[in-house]
Structure formats: structure tokens, C-alpha cells
Amino acid sequence: MSSYPREELEEMMRRWVAANDEAGRTGDWSKMPEFFLEDAVYSWNTGDKYEFVARGKQQIAEWAFGTEMAGLEKWVYPYVRTLIDDQKGEIVGFWKQVAPSKDPDDKPYEIAGTGGSWFRYGGNYKWAWQRDFFDHANAGVVFLGMMENGDLTEVMQERMKKGSRMPGWVRRETFDWFGTVVDREDE
């Protein structure tokens, strides 16, 4: 772990949030991988048995901002709070998950619970790793409600059918939080 000037970490987060906001507004997430080192790791929990893990900038581009964002292109993830540890070079940002469509009460669909990202900075305005967290049960409730109301994209419905057969999904017992796979098992 390295310490970094707080101003540099603040600027990194400002750039990241600006790009995140632009991607949500336009539906184009393809520029986000530019914020990662070539050997970066991006991960999150997908339930009680699986984790999503993308290793390296190419997998992050193809899977995290490709297959995992398919059907969610115009969703927005506004950041509401950021905590910076300049001694460790780590940042935690809390965000919301809001759909572009509205529920029968004319409110945008929003996944309840805490959503966020834990980052380790790698220097030169790049992330070494990112670990997301969000309430998977609440996401499922929202997606099912959207499907029942005819508001969930066909692409997202197909992704839900694939479940653990999506690229990057690994069994939880074969993975540690920082991207080390002990014994990968594809299903």
C-alpha cells in the first residue's frame, strides 16, 4: 500500500465521477476501462455462491462494462458520498442505482440498500482494483418488478436467465476479494 497526495486522490475521484455521470447520461460505458491499470482487478459479489471477477483492463472492458452493463446502459449511478484514505491510497464511494424507466407510480425504479465501490489507487489516475457492493436481493426485486411491468429490457432478461454462466462469474470459494483465484471453476 502506498500513500498518495490527497489532492491527487480527490482529482482521481472527480474524474471518475464525471466519467460515470457521462456514461449514465449517454449509455456509453466504453470509456470507463481507461481508468484502470493494465493488470487491474474489478470484482463484486453476485450472491451466495458466485463472485464476478474481471482481471486486466481487457476483461474489465469486455465484461464489467460490456456484458455486465448490457441492458443497463442508461441506468445512472450517482455518487452520494466519498471517503478517502490518502495513507493507504484507498477510496470508498457510495452510490445509488437508478433506472431510466419509471414504475407504475411514476417514480424511477431504484435499487434500495447501500451501493458503493471500494477502490485502490494505482497512480497516474488509474485504479489498481475496484470492489463493488450492493444489495443483490433488492436488485432482484427491482428487476422482477420491472419484468412484470414490461419495463426490463430483453437483453437484461436474457442475462438473468444465464445467471452464473455469464463471463467473469466464479465460485465464491475459489476467489479472494483482491482477484486471486484459488481454483477457477467454470459452469
In order, the DSSP letters of 27-89 are S--TTGGGGEEEEEEEEEE-SSSEEEEEEHHHHIIIIIIIITTTT-TT-B--EEEEEEETTTT
Helix (H, G, I), strand (E, B) or coil at 93: strand
The pTM assigned to this predicted structure is 0.89
CA–centroid distance for 116 within its chain: 8
Enumerate residues 6+ apart whose C-beta is below 8 A from 1.
87, 88, 89, 90, 120
Query: What gap in Å lies between CA 63 and CA 146, rounded to an integer?
Result: 23
Enumerate residues 6+ apart whose C-beta is below 8 A from 166.
52, 63, 67, 68, 159
What is the rounded (10 degree) CA torsion for 100, 105, 109, 115? 140
The full set of domains in the chain, from first to last, is 6-174 (3.10.450.50)
Whether 68 and 51 have beta carbons less than 8 Å apart is answered as no
Grid cell at residue 120: 485502490
The reported pLDDT for the residue numbered 8 is 98
Q: What is the pLDDT along the chain (187 residues), one digit of tens a residue?
A: 678 999 999 999 999 999 999 999 999 999 999 999 999 999 998 888 888 999 999 999 999 999 999 999 999 999 999 999 999 999 999 999 999 999 999 999 999 998 999 999 999 999 999 999 999 899 999 999 999 999 999 999 998 888 878 888 888 776 666 656 555 444 4
